[in-house]
Structures are given as C-alpha cells and as structure tokens.
Chain A
Amino acid sequence: MRVVTLPRPDDFDAWRDAARGLIADQVPADEVVWQVGDVPTDLFAGEAVAHAPPPPSSAFSVPRPFIDLARTVVQASEPERFCLLYTLLTRLRREPGLIEDRADPLVRRLDTLAKGVRRDMHKMRAFLRFREVQDAEGARFVAWFEPENHIVRANAAFFVNRFASMRWSILTPEVSLHWDGKALSEGPGATRADAPDGDPVEEVWKTYYANIFNPARVKIGAMLKEMPRKYWKNMPETQLVPQLIAGAQARESRMIETARTEIGGNSLAAWEALRDEAAACTRCHLYKHATQTVFGEGSVDSTMMFVGEQPGDNEDLAGKPFIGPAGQVFDRALAEAGIDRSRAYVTNAVKHFKFEQRGKRRIHSKPGAGEIDACRWWIEQERMLVQPQVTVALGATAARSLLGRVVTIGRERGRPMPLADGGQALITVHPSFLLRLPDEEAKRVEYTRFVEDLKAAHALLA
C-alpha cells in the first residue's frame, strides 16, 4: 500500500505529479491511499511517499478533457476524489476514448462532482457579500463566506478581475484571500468573528430587496431551488424573507379587494374598450364564417346578468344579442317577471354565430366545449366589470361556461349556487327551447316555468 500526502486539499499539480509517478511504477488504484496534510493515515497505511516531482522520463499524455475535469474535481470536498481520478487515469491508459463516454459510471460520478464544484463557485460569486470598513489607508471591503468545496483559490481571479481597484479580503474557514489593489496574498483560515458584523448600506439594500419583490406572485420553491437556505446566514437580505412571505397574501388580496370595491366612474369606458377588442377576436375559428362578434349589452353596473348560448342568424347580422325569435320570447318573459331589460346586462357564452350552411339558410349549430372554453375569457372580463349579484344561465351552454362543468338542466334548474368570482348563479332553460316544443300545452307550461325562474332570480337580489 502506498500513501500519497498532498500539501493542500485543492492541489492539482501535486496530485498530477504523484499520479505520474504512480503510473510510471504501474501501481494499481486500489493500492494507493491519498491524504491531505497531516490528516492521520488510515489503518492499512503502508509506506508513505513524499510529494516529489516524478522523473521526466515518466511523462505521458492524457486527453485534454481529463485534465480539465481533474482540475475541477480536486476542488471537491469528496474525500475519495483523488482516488477516483487516479482510477480513471489508469483506465484511460488502456482506453483513451473512455473520457468521452459520459454515461460510464465512473466518468458520470466525476462529472457530477465537477458540476457540484462549478455550482459552488458560481454561488460564491453570487452570494458573497462585502462589508465596508475603514482602516489607516481608507476603505477596505471584507467578506465572510463558507463554501462547501475547496474552491476559494480557484475563484480568486474572478474577484480580482471585478474588484481590482478596491482593497478587499475574503475570509473563509480554510483560507483567507487579501487583495491590496496590486497583489493577492493568502492567509490562514478565519472565523465569522474576524469579519465585520455590519454595513450601513445593507439597510438600503434590504429596502431594495423588499420592494422589488412582487407579493402577488409568491413562488417559494423557485426561490429555494436557486438560493437554498444554507446560504442565507451570510446574506443580509434573507432576514426579510419570512415577513415578506407572511404578508404577501394579505397584500395581494387587499389589492384585488380595493380594485373591486373602490373603482367606479369609468367602467363604461372600460366596457367599450373591451367590446372594441372583442370585435377583433380570433380565439377560436368561429370568427372565420360569422359576420361579426356579438358582444354583450346593457347596463354595465347592473345587478343582473343574463347569459345565453350564442348569437343566431338575426343577431349575427345585427350585432346585438337576443333580438331574433328567441329574443322576443325572452323579452316577453322578462316583462312578465317584472325585470327591465334595459337595466340588466345581456350576453352570450359564445360570441360568434356557429352554423351550417344549407342552401341559402344558415342553420344554428351547437358550440363545442373548446369554443365555449375559448370564449370564456370574454365572459370573465364582462363579469369582472359588471360584477352582477345574480347571473342567470340560459341553457346548458351558458351553465357550462359559468360553472366550468357539464350541467344537466333538469337536475340543477332553479337552485341558486355561488360562483367563484362572486355573486350567485341560477340555471334555467334557453328561450329557444320554448320555441322548439311541438305541443302548445307543453309550450304554455314551460313558458310559465321559465317566467317563474326569472322571478326567482329577480327575488335573489338583496
């Protein structure tokens, strides 16, 4: 058993020299024990080999990607790293192509270690925070950081490139770096107590952090994935995280609530703008054959909203909802129920006419689930502006649009139900159903029931 002692945990050159010697002596990987500094050797330790440059004759070449990989992996905290690298090296002597086999278990293991090192380096660049102190020569910036791997020396160049004109120190448990504006020097490891404990600018930074946060879109998982808790203790702004999360939902609800209750005045302008936007709607393919979008109409601050299925032939040509034969039945029933249509808001679940052309006639065709879903965006916008207390769904299409599920009219008719966006809904038949009934007596009975439903809806108004 050979014992190789490396002077520092991240010393690539020492590892390379030792590995060259071992390869020259054809020592198999399982007969080498690697250790750093004075760490006691393990029980099976044999003859110790001092770190010495190998004889020049022992030089041999290895693939370039291996050197890059090894330089990174020696910085890992994994104790087995030197052994793993040497094992790969012995295998590469036999099959140099192995380094490109990224799916090989050993190569994959080393790739994963290298990835961890690179991530740690990146996070050090990101999360290290300097604090300003004054000494005899002026301002100096000092940071305390606790990396997981032996990355500090390899990361020094980044900080020198960026902060060359400042005097700074980076203190870590293993090693300290000092830059005096001209040269980099190394010192022994430090403790947190050696670093300054504050900087007045941190309060300004925390103000920024608190205000750039949007309480309406809390995504804690996304934050933790990139900024795990282990880094928090040395970042001043993370102290704010618990209170920001705790207050977020209340802040969001308050914004929405304020908007619902305190806005008024220009809701008519808002509705007109929405109607104009809807005129250009292409959310589903129905716009291709219909004449125009038939938007809702009526009083924008109404307490009652009526939702039909879709415009028919007459409505499509005129651009107004409920004016054809069914609309006439609807108007008559409303009047009998004591409801003033001009003070209600009347619209359709689907805003374009869907039909089949038969000769010269355009025959109504029932909208599909996709078309209802595509058009729901408009009815949601209309509902947010009108905010009716009571919404009457006329027929199954309207009920589906409002409730987001398939509804059997017979079962759920006339029963008030709460809606997710506020107010109550009541389901009844579509007036065209009354027109289609063949039997006069049935027509009369159903018409009366329809009027009763409208009366019941009217009575729901507080």
Chain B
Amino acid sequence: MAQLDTRQKLGILADAAKYDASCASSGTAKRDSRDGKGIGSTEGMGICHAYAPDGRCISLLKILLTNSCIFDCHYCINRKSSNVRRARFTAQEVVQLTLSFYRRNYIEGLFLSSGIIGSSNYTMEQLVEVARSLREDHHFRGYIHLKTIPDADPELVHQAGLYADRVSINVELPTVSGLKRLAPEKDEKRIEGAMADNKTAIIDNKDARKKYKSAPRFAPAGQSTQMIVGADAATDGDIVRRASTLYDQFGLRRVYYSAFSPIPDASAVLPLQRPPLMREHRLYQSDWLMRFYDYRPDEVVAAADEATGMLPLDIDPKLAWALKFRDRFPVDVNQAPREMLLRVPGLGVKAVNAMLASRRWRRLRLDDVARLTVSVAKLRPFIVTEDWRPVLLTDKADLKPLVAPKKQQLELFAA
C-alpha cells in the first residue's frame, strides 16, 4: 500500500472520529499568551469556528491518533472486523496540524481519541505524548480534550488530566445488556471505575488548589461521557435516569447523546437505519431541563408516555410536562417563584431572569411578557399577568393544538 500523506490520513482519521458528539471547548480555566512565549487562549465560553451541514459545531480538531483497533464493537466504524482503510498519525503530525489550524483561527484546540493498538497503556502513552508536546514544547494554551482509556495505568490517565482541559470516557450504551451485545470486550464496571477515578482526581485537585495556588490543574473543564441512542433497547425513561445517575455519581459536566447513525461497512449485529435525530434532540432538551430548569429526573420521566417510556416527538418535553400537569398552571408572572416561572413552556432562563428583575419595579402586563419572549400566543394559556387571565383556556381539553408547533411538510433532508 502506498504511503499516505498527512492530508489523506487526516481524511481517514477525521472520518473515524465524527461519531463522537462532544465538541465543547467551554468551562475551562482562563489562559492567554500575552507573555509572547506560546500560542492560544481560553475564555469561559467556547467558540464554534464552523458548522458542518449536519448541524454540528466544529470547535476542535477532532481526530483519532489511529483508527486501528483490537476491539470489535459493533456500532463502531473502527472495529477490528471492519474493512475501513486504516491510518496512523505520529504524535508530531498531530501537533503540527493542531498548531497550523490554530494559527489560522480555524479551531479552539484539539480533541484527540484513538483506537486501541498494542495495549491500553501504549495507546494512552501516545495520546499523552501529543498533549505533552503541545503544552511543553510549544506552550500551547488552547483547549485540549483527551479521551482516556479505561484499562490504562492510572498514572498515565493522571498525566493526561494534567495536560488536558477535559478528559472523557464513553459509557457507549445506556444499558448493560446493550453494552454486552454491542461492545462485548467493554465492561461497564471498568468504564465506571475509570470515571470514578477521574472524579476523585478532579476533586482532589480542587482541594489541593485551595491550599496551594501553584498546584497544577487537573482537567479544569471536568469530564464528560457519551451514550449512543437507538442501538439498544433503552427507552427515553431509561436514558434520562441513567444520565442523571451518571451526573450525580461521577460529577460529569456533560452527558452527550449520539443518535446511532449508519456507518460504512456495518456489522450484521447492528442493522442500519436512519438515525433517530428527533429523539436525540428531545433527549438533549430533557437534559437541559435537568441542568438549567430544576426538573428532577423523575419529573422528566413523567413527561414520557407511561406505557412506552418514550418522550413525545412532536412536542418538547417541557410542553409535554405542562400539558400533563395542568393543575400547576396558570402561573402568575407577578408572584410565582422562579422555579415555577421556569416551568412555563416558552419561558427561558433569560426571560425569567428579566421578569424577576422587572417585577421588583412594577407589575407586568401581557405586553411586557411579549417583549421578552418569542411567542406570547403559546404562553398565554399558562400565565396570569396584570391584564390577562386565561379563564377557560388552561382547562380546555384540546389545548395541545393551540400551543404545539404546526406540523410541517417534511423536507427532503429534514431531521
């Protein structure tokens, strides 16, 4: 086989990396390169430098070091039994690519993962070497996200955390039985054990930094994980509960959901179909409800259909919850506490904050609410203002058509 050049390898190893949904570059420590020594900066907020036609943001150079792998996970394009073309970057090739993209303002940094080659330790060493070279040889102050390998030596994983802003390990599937079927060589206990180790390291580091300001930071942007949706038998209820356990148990910053999408050269164990993109979207919305809107996991699950455990696809989970628990509405925007205002479908966190600030000075009217939101028509059944009371509307049996989004003819490429 002819030798591959860097650009050909990039094609193969970016293609191999695209099934990892995470591309966040936010929430890390503030850095800059004003000392003129290296390059790069990070602020609180990440930056998406481009968007692909799949709607996903491109913030980081997301690649694998190699797509060769000794594992045979059926959902994965890089599994041992796949006929996909293999390639491998040297650590220096990745370093140079990252720097040349960064200098042109294409990216916020690097998200590096790898197939398992040789042993777990060997693979982890290679990943750490890239991060080390970027940080120490080139004083790179941009963002680095490293995938850590569950079975690797804890000392290596620890080093990864010292160079990286974020570390992650994918739980892959929401159910244990799904993992057994689709990733027979992976083990839930080992994955969770490694996540627990990361959590401990992150917490210990926070304590150390309270005592010694100079203690090196360990993964300041925390750890995250990913679950594939639609490849095993998990219902939305199962996934929401699992995600909430993961958040609590391992102190995760994010749980990503990735709708299982067709891959070239699929395994017979996992038949292909169109990815459930709307379902993925609803799960992200439910994730938002738990993280920013003070919903408990069992409240989100209550928005799902009781028999099937699935969230509705035609309306968002917040509206579904409101339609199911009508007795909690209407909410008086001039009196209700913050947590109840957050439950009103159509009111976001910003609008609620603005209302709380405004009502300290005067009583809000419907016009005021209209100015702060996108569609007051959809809100009206759920709120009371100085000049508005939805007398019968809230109790109307057929409220849903009034507030649900209009059905649209499907586009050729619609999700």
Query: Complex: how many Å from CA A132 to CA B102?
Result: 12
- Do A377 and B53 touch across chains, with their CB atoms under 8 A apart? no
List of B residues within 8 angstroms of A273 by Cβ? 180-182, 269
- Do B53 and A218 touch across chains, with their CB atoms under 8 A apart? yes
Q: Which of B12, B51, B176, B232 has the most CB of A within 10 A?
A: B51
Question: Would you give the 0/1 interface string for A286-308, flagging 1 where the beta carbon is closer than 8 Å to chain B?
Answer: 00000000000000000000000
Pick the contact of B57 from A98, A103, A125, A226 — CB < 8 Å?
Answer: A226
- Do B175 and A280 touch across chains, with their CB atoms under 8 A apart? yes
List of B residues within 8 angstroms of A122 by Cβ? 45, 47
List of B residues within 8 angstroms of A385 by Cβ? 268, 271
Residue ID in chain A nearest B360 by CB atoms = A100
- Do B53 and A223 touch across chains, with their CB atoms under 8 A apart? yes
- Do A211 and B361 touch across chains, with their CB atoms under 8 A apart? no
B297 part of interface (Cβ distance < 8 Å): no
A104 part of interface (Cβ distance < 8 Å): yes
Query: Complex: how many Å from CA A218 to CA B413?
Result: 6
Binds A, one of B160-168, B197-205, B257-265: B257-265
Binds B, one of A71-79, A241-249, A454-462: A241-249
Contacts A205-B104, A220-B53, A277-B181 hold; do A255 and B262 have CB atoms under 8 A apart? yes
What is A's interface to B at a CB cutoff of 8 Å?
Answer: 97-98, 100-105, 108, 122, 125-132, 141, 143, 158, 160-166, 181-182, 199, 201-205, 207-223, 226-227, 235, 237-238, 241, 244-245, 248-249, 252, 255-256, 258-260, 263-267, 269-270, 273-274, 276-285, 368-371, 373-374, 377-378, 381, 384-385
Contacts A129-B106, A161-B32, A277-B232 hold; do A217 and B7 have CB atoms under 8 A apart? no
- Do B268 and A264 touch across chains, with their CB atoms under 8 A apart? yes
List of B residues within 8 angstroms of A216 by Cβ? 261-262, 274-275
Q: Name the distance in Å between B184's Cβ and chain A's nearest Cβ.
A: 8
List of B residues within 8 angstroms of A166 by Cβ? 39, 103
- Do A212 and B36 touch across chains, with their CB atoms under 8 A apart? no
B120 part of interface (Cβ distance < 8 Å): no
List of A residues within 8 angstroms of B391 by Cβ? none
Q: Name the distance in Å between B227's Cβ and chain A's nearest Cβ.
A: 16
List of B residues within 8 angstroms of A213 by Cβ? 18, 52-54
Q: Which of B262, B263, B309, B360 has the most CB of A within 10 A?
A: B262
- Do A209 and B50 touch across chains, with their CB atoms under 8 A apart? yes
Q: Name the distance in Å between B308's Cβ and chain A's nearest Cβ.
A: 4
Within 8 A of A (CB), among B24-39: 32-39
Pick the contact of B53 from A248, A266, A280 — CB < 8 Å?
Answer: A248
Query: Complex: how many Å from CA A181 to CA B357?
Result: 44
Contacts A219-B55, A227-B50 hold; do A108 and B371 have CB atoms under 8 A apart? yes
Query: Complex: how many Å from CA A130 to CA B310?
Result: 47
Residue ID in chain A nearest B19 by CB atoms = A214
What is B's interface to A at a CB cutoff of 8 Å?
Answer: 6-7, 10-12, 14-15, 17-19, 32-41, 43, 45, 47-58, 61-62, 97, 100-101, 103-106, 175-178, 180-182, 232-233, 235, 238, 259, 261-275, 277, 305-310, 353-355, 357-358, 360-362, 364, 368-369, 371-372, 411-413, 415
- Do B48 and A226 touch across chains, with their CB atoms under 8 A apart? yes
Contacts A103-B354, A266-B269, A369-B307 hold; do A164 and B35 have CB atoms under 8 A apart? yes
- Do B412 and A201 touch across chains, with their CB atoms under 8 A apart? no
Pick the contact of A211 from B10, B177, B308, B354 — CB < 8 Å?
Answer: B10
Query: Complex: how many Å from CA A131 to CA B105?
Result: 9
Q: Name the distance in Å between B187's Cβ and chain A's nearest Cβ.
A: 16
Query: Complex: how many Å from CA A212 to CA B19?
Result: 9
Q: Name the distance in Å between B342's Cβ and chain A's nearest Cβ.
A: 16
Query: Complex: how many Å from CA A77 to CA B162?
Result: 44
- Do A141 and B104 touch across chains, with their CB atoms under 8 A apart? yes
Query: Complex: how many Å from CA A108 to CA B373?
Result: 11
